[in-house]
Amino acid sequence: MEAVTECKSGTRKPWVAMLDHTRVPAGELKDWAAYAHGPFTAITDRLSSLWVGREPFNDARLASHVVTALGSDDGSGTKPNPANDAIRQVMSATAAARLDYIGGHHTNPRGFVVLPVVVINAPLFTCELDDDGEVRLLEV
């Protein structure tokens, strides 16, 4: 298994994940991993039972957006969004790890699972509409 990690140490600006009520079934490794492959399925089939359904993989909710709250203007007229940048960077590196594995797979036929991970120091909040249409902001 490989975890592609992006770390952000800033703590001044909270990150906010915009959620909706959609729940994603997460009973298989492919529901969480960016890429999973084994030369035969026994390698990857048994992995799901080890961690799917356990923290933090027990609540399969997706964020449509992740933003840095209270971004400041950098002079270009746009507000930087380090949260979005971090997610794009880790997904790009994850895609590169997958391509690297695929390119060398014929010489090293092993099982491979890659997970994109963003580690932050900033406070993390979820934001969603409740059943009455009111905004609910909760610290995670």
pLDDT digits (tens, 9 = 90+) for 119-134: 999 889 988 888 888 8
Which whole number is the average pLDDT over 4-14?
86
Query: Cα–Cα distance between 8 and 99 in angstroms, integer?
Result: 25
Instruction: Calculate what percentage of the chain has a pLDDT beyond 90.
Output: 6
* pTM of the predicted model as reported, rounded to 2 decimal places: 0.72
| Element of type H or E holding 128 | strand 124-129
Domain of residue 23: give its range: 2-139
* DSSP-based three-state secondary structure for 139: strand
Under the banding of pLDDT at 50, 70 and 90, the label for residue 71 is low
Q: What is the count of structural domains for the chain?
A: 1
Please give the pLDDT value at position 81.
84
